[in-house]
Amino acid sequence: MRWKIINIRASLLFELLQIVANYIGVKHALEYVPHTSIHWAGGRLEPPPDTPHCGFDGALSRQMTGYAILILF
């Protein structure tokens, strides 16, 4: 199975769809198209991590302590 990864490059007049990478499922490989770049969301310069910091089921999250602190003014 082969997938195309498309980047939307916006200008004042129009939006351009540009193929920036190909995913080849049989090889589990991502091949970037030369002389192109990907505009990641949030101004990132690299792809986001493939696993959330807390894990998919929260297993990697920091555990909360068994008490709370209340401050009243």
Rg (CA), the chain: 20
Q: Structural domain tally of the chain? A: 1
Question: In this structure, is residue 73 part of a structural domain?
Answer: no
Q: Do residues 33 and 21 make contact, with C-beta atoms less than 8 angstroms apart?
A: yes
- pLDDT for residue 65: 65
Note the pLDDT tens digit of each residue in 8-18.
Answer: 777 666 677 88
d(CA 19, CA 32): 9
Name the residue range of residue 23's domain: 1-46
Note the pLDDT tens digit of each residue in 27-65.
Answer: 888 888 999 888 888 888 888 887 888 888 877 777 766
3-state secondary structure of 21: strand
Question: In this structure, is residue 71 part of a structural domain?
Answer: no
Q: Do residues 40 and 46 make contact, with C-beta atoms less than 8 angstroms apart?
A: yes
Question: In this structure, is residue 56 part of a structural domain?
Answer: no
HSE-up of residue 71 (Cα within 13 Å, Cβ side): 0
